[in-house]
Structure 1
Amino acid sequence: MEDLQRNTVGEDHASNPTVFFLSDSTGITAETLGNTLLSQFPGQRLERKTIPFITTVEQAREVVATIDRMAGSGPRPIIFSTAVGHDIRAVLAQSRGLFFDLFGTHIGQLETALGASASGQPGQAHGLGDAVRYQSRMAAVEYAIEHDDGQSLRALERAELILIAPSRCGKTPTTMYLALQHGILAANFPLVEEDFDTMALPKPLLPFARKCFGLISQPVRLSQIRQERRPNSNYASLTQCTYELRNAEEMYRANNVPYVNSASMSVEEISATVLQRMQLHH
């Protein structure tokens, strides 16, 4: 907690409110839910700070002291909390920030609906509470790593999804997200210039055409991304990007491969689209 105080005290928060994501576990859920709400206010400039593993009342009080100091010298902080423990939630709620209790608000309703008491144990969303699901996700991550960018063709028959696209269209982050968050066995395969000679799917993928899903992008956007990797190369030129994207889209259409333009989509949005259109549900 001392590091937190050093990092926050003395910073200029006069104009930008600070948003705190507080948790007695990893903080991932608080960040996800809080940022989803904040996305409805795109014009706001906000300082964001995540404080995970608040596991004792003493730690909670230290966090509240830091928030209260900031509230006294700038805009009122905004707090998104997914703390499960009642005692810790009660302390955090006493801060001078605007407190959003993302779990406590609904726990009572769920207890009534389910006729059961909540466990009160932190870390259930991202921990080992469901060992089978956790192992499934880890196996999917290992599969995605092995089959990234066409590195391995071994056991492609096990794949639930094969993402195909020209380089730098978002294949790797999407397959990794699908594996880690949903336990999907996902491979990805790059499309290169030679693949467009016949407009057929690359030969290794022909037996698995029904598992394929394509990504495209906007030529200017793709060129910008490639410039960061290989500046001033033909690979990054707008002409080359336009050629590859146009031909990739024609390939998808010729082979009845569903596809989406990923240029303005987050990895979460791409993944949700893929899951829905490929009817993949775990």
Structure 2
Amino acid sequence: MTKQKRTVFYLSDRTGITAETLGHSLLTQFDGIEWKKINVPFLDNMAKARTLVERINHAAECDGYRPLVFSTLLKADILEVIRQANCRVYDFFETFISSIEQELQQPSARMAGRSHGLQQPLSYFKRIAAINYALGHDDGVNPKNFTDADIILVGVSRAGKTPTCLYLALQYGIAAANYPLTQEDMLANQLPKVLEPVRNKLFGLTLSAAQLHFIREERRPHSQYASLAQCQREIQWQESLFQLFHIPYLDTTHISIEEISAIILDRSGLKRQLYG
């Protein structure tokens, strides 16, 4: 069955992150469509708007369907130009701002860039510090500073610890370190000594042996490290270790980094720092 091909535009006066995030969330609910996604940030003058109208009309002609346009534009005159194109416009601010103004009985500021700007400088710099911490304490580096961590992810090699730490830091300002459980740890069958003083900060990541085998094969094809039997041994051992030392853990086989991070925050009770 041939997929329907449609074009979607994400428009903004600034970065376009909000329009893309909200629009993408909505479109994930519709199957069987192949989307061509076009981001148009910093759409802040009439010349750019008129040029964009031509692009939208061209996409409509090529696809045989009018494009969808998700907008967080604040300038009414620019948005009005876009509405003249052969497209269907979904304006997030129009949908929500007027209703919120009525409820709060005050006008909104209608200033571009506030959601991803420096309106909350303390929160922003905490996230920068958290990113630096995650980078400086990746893969068991600088364990003497683990007491400064908000959380320490543990798991065997290639279990997803590093990307999760970086996501927690970037999105939520969480100072996340990670420690790899090694073959030597498995032979000792004990929690690594360096982790004993910070046991209350530990959170384990696990996954299916088949998934770990697939990931490791990409890194070191046909090696003992990547063999299915080795992956099975390591996963079985680490899950036994988590249970023995009462370390909370999560099977990440079928969930995204975003979901992993949200679950970790929910289970650990850590406070998100994104909005101050």
The correspondence of residues 1-16 of structure 1 with structure 2, limited to 5 A, is 15-16=4-5
- Cα displacement (A) at 1:146: 0.3
**Aligned twin of 2:237:** 247
SS at match of 2:270: coil
SS at match of 1:197: helix
Deviations 1:105-142 (A, max 9, x none): 10111222223322222221112121111111101100
Please say if 1:132 is aligned against 2:122: yes
**Aligned twin of 2:221:** 231
Structure 1 residue corresponding to 2:170, chosen from 173, 177, 180: 180
Please say if 1:110 is aligned against 2:100: yes
**Aligned twin of 1:80:** 70
Contact 1:199 1:254 in 2 (8 A): no
Contact 1:164 1:171 in 2 (8 A): yes
SS at match of 1:234: coil
Q: Return the letter of the residue paired with 1:120.
A: R
- Cα displacement (A) at 1:58: 2.2
Structure 1 residue corresponding to 2:58, chosen from 69, 81, 92: 69
Please say if 1:39 is aligned against 2:28: yes
Q: Return the letter of the residue paired with 1:70.
A: A
Which piece of structure 1 moves more, 85-94 or 170-179?
A: 85-94
Change beyond 3 A, Cα 1:67–1:214:
same
The correspondence of residues 40-55 of structure 1 with structure 2, limited to 5 A, is 40-55=29-44
SS at match of 2:158: coil
Change beyond 3 A, Cα 1:204–1:81:
same
SS at match of 1:16: strand
The correspondence of residues 157-172 of structure 1 with structure 2, limited to 5 A, is 157-172=147-162
Q: Return the letter of the residue paired with 2:53.
A: V
**Aligned twin of 1:29:** 18
- Cα displacement (A) at 1:67: 0.5
CA–CA distance in 2 between the matches of 1:247 and 1:65? 60
SS at match of 1:79: strand
TM-score normalised by structure 1 residue count: 0.90
CA–CA distance in 2 between the matches of 1:247 and 1:92? 58
Gaps of 5+ in 1: 1-13
Contact 1:24 1:84 in 2 (8 A): yes
The alignment of Structure 1 onto Structure 2 pairs a total of residues equal to 269
Gaps of 5+ in 2: none
Q: Return the letter of the residue paired with 1:278.
A: S
* Identity between Structure 1 and Structure 2 (%): 43
Change beyond 3 A, Cα 1:157–1:24:
same
Change beyond 3 A, Cα 1:247–1:176:
same
CA–CA distance in 1 between the matches of 2:148 and 2:217? 35
Q: Following TM superposition, where does structure 1 have runs of at least 4 consecutive aligned residues deviating by more than 6 angstroms? A: none
Please say if 1:271 is aligned against 2:249: no
Contact 1:82 1:101 in 2 (8 A): yes
Contact 1:196 1:251 in 2 (8 A): no
Which piece of structure 1 moves more, 198-207 or 171-180?
A: 198-207
- Cα displacement (A) at 1:278: 0.4
Which piece of structure 1 moves more, 44-53 or 238-247?
A: 44-53
**Aligned twin of 1:95:** 85
